[in-house]
Structure 1
Amino acid sequence: MCTDLLRPAGPQPAATPRRLHRALALGAASAALLCGTAAPAAAAGSPGQKIADALRRSPVYVDPSLASAVDAGQQRELAAQIQRTRLPIRVALVPLVEGDSWGGKPEQLAEVVHDRMGGGPAILVTLGEYPEDISAREWPSDAHQAFHAAASVYFQKDMKGAGPAKRVARAIDIIKAGNGDAVYARATADLDAPKPTPDPAGAADAKAASGPGSPVVRLLSLVVGPVLLLAAVGLLLRRRSRLRDLSTPFALPRSVFAAARHSDEAGVRDRAAEEVVRLGEEARGAQGEPAAVERALDAYAAAGTVLDRARGVPDLAGVFALVAEGRAALSGAAAALPPCFFHPLHGPAVRRIPWRPLGRREQLRVAACETCLRAIRTRRAPEVLTDRRDGHPVPYFEVPAEDSLWAATGYGSLLHGPDDSLAARVQRGDFTRSRD
């Protein structure tokens, strides 16, 4: 590679032999110098190494572009706070944008800096991927519940509009307390809580009582308000019903998924076996289009194959996905959504959403259930089904596709068009090859 430095970049003017010899000698010396020093210099000057070196001198590093947001006095206060915790906390406040050295991802920044610092137990607090958000990563994972400790700050009402220094300080306090999971649960509890039903009639009465108004206006408020409210509620219910009709026709009841999800592996296996038997009965007794019945029978046979050779919950979740595929065929719903990509035991998906796997540039469109959809919209990590790789639990989709039919297909989310199916892939041996 270093010899490339001696090659002319384009057409060169003619030179005398003596001048050419001198130029080549000078070029060779320069190339040797560059080849001996360029790589170490590049490593030493890399952004990750620069931050790591700074964190060896002080537990707080602030990028110069953020110096006005976190001034020197605030940096000293954070450093003193970290020292009092007696925990291996480091703070690296660096602006994150798409296309930067970290791909705009706080977890990538944390991994690089942790590696440059030599690894070992550590907690690294950074800015988050979104405005007014911060992130934390720790090694070993979840030792101090740092991830949720940092994530909870975004949802705490008294932190709205607070600067990065105050938000980081709050996260450090929660990390020190070691109860980040509980704090996060409290901070996000109202996200799923039903909102109080507005009372237009009461509002109209209050308005009338506080100022002049004609009896006709008050009467109209009493009558029209509830009517509009009922119309809005009816519209919402019809919309939800339409979504369910489009996405989960003839699919497994949610109660089946819920019961399986909260069982141990033996319980999941029993539930899966029951649903396979039921699908077979429904397919054999179906009076629909022959091609659809055949697809359902193929799904039934494939589900039986997977059930017989299932090694754990990820395979058993595949059985449920195949049963759902068979029932969708019986219903004639060619556009039915597969189970939730993130955790198929959550049950049927409600829509597809864009999603980009960590460390990859391409964006996928995956099917998500209501729970995971709500988590992603509120910038929470959805619950993910895990598999084992090299003896460690990992998200099932991080297993190499050649070793897992479920990673390759996302339980149906990543199939290639209407002619592709889980049943067809099982039939051609994709599942059994990954088991051997």
Structure 2
Amino acid sequence: MALALAVMAVLWAGVPRAEAATSISTVAEELRRNPVYVDPAMSAQLPPTEAAELSRQIKDADKPLFIAVLPADQPTRNLFTDLRTATGVTGAYAVRLGDRFDARADASVLPRTAVRNLVTSVQGEDARTQLADFTDRALVTMRGSAPAGWDGVERGGTVSTTALITAGAVLVASGAGAYALVRRGRSRREAEQQAALEKLRVVVDEDITAYGEELDRLDFHPAEAGADDAMRADYERALDSYDQAKQYMAEARRPEDVRLVTETLEDGRFSLARLAARREGRPLPERRPPCFFDPRHGPSVADEEWTPPGGAPRRVPVCAADRIRLADGLDPQIREVATDGGRRPYWDAGPAYGPWAGGYFGGGLLPGLLAGTLLGSMMATPSYAAAYGAGYGDFGGYEGGDVSGADFSPADFGDFGMGGGFGGGDFGGGDFGGF
């Protein structure tokens, strides 16, 4: 028996074993020290000298670009999301996986369209050319600065003499001035966000009050004759939405927090519309966005053509009352808000109303609805994406290179509902997971 076990042990020792996948924690740890990580098994694709040159180029550009070259059998499920979470730095992440390539980025660093176009432009190239071309093109487009952990650190974890001399010269020349400048920049940004939040607070409080008045006018009691469980459920959801909206607004600390408030109010009004239909014996309404002219009007009933002053025609969701007004050639009842120049329609009141509108209408609807308006024009510019994020209301709490840890939205990071995978398993190859 002992002899048989010994023979089996020898035979087992001679059987090739599959290499374990590279730990995401290992890759993330290396990327926090250096912008380029090459798995030892993949050094033939990107030799150390070329990896070092690519790393130097990224550092010199002072951009938060991370590149990883991993084996083909590396699991792809949630790879980008897990890598972004483990690294914890706002930036753009590019991965060469065997002979496949793809990338994701925080919206404050690179918009989704830019990521898609950059990835498409290098498909089919060999590893060295592909990574070099992607880096060249991405660095020109990216926003943000490199993380501080990269300064003067080589892959082996030692600090180069040149880096020390350079760092010393910079410190002597600038002293505390650079630090003070960064602090002033962050303080200015925080002050701007607080000012925007206070503007939004007035408008959202009006929305919450209007919704509360709707509930007060509602002639319904859960125990009344004819009430059934479905009606009571709609009523309970409507009440919960009111309480949740007040709580979310009380907890709001940044302008993007307002989006959750208006999403909740929109949910509540839809519950009220369902309750009304059940009580009146009508078919349940389909889920539609609120009235474009004033979300307090409730869910829309149709899309109608409308032309803003000086703008192009577009179809917008309208409530029943505004649909009649438009058919009669009258102006709709438009939600106006206070500005320095007097009361204006919310779409002409500045970028702070992006989160408010985004909660009601969702990011996918806004570009078409707001085309040609002041808010729509601002949202289409790179400066809006840099300051407020690319999600039509997502201000983004961190800029490129900031350490955010796990505080990021996978949707904002560009995983497009795929959970961080590569298009549901189709990594690269022209199908980038719903780009």
- Please give the range of the TM-score, normalised by the shorter of the 2 chains: 0.3 to 0.5
**Structure with a larger share of its residues in helix:** 1
Q: TM-score, normalised by structure 1?
A: 0.36
Q: TM-score, normalised by structure 2?
A: 0.36
- Which one scores higher on RCO, CA 8 angstroms, separation ≥ 6? 2
Question: Over alpha carbons, which structure has the higher Rg?
Answer: 1
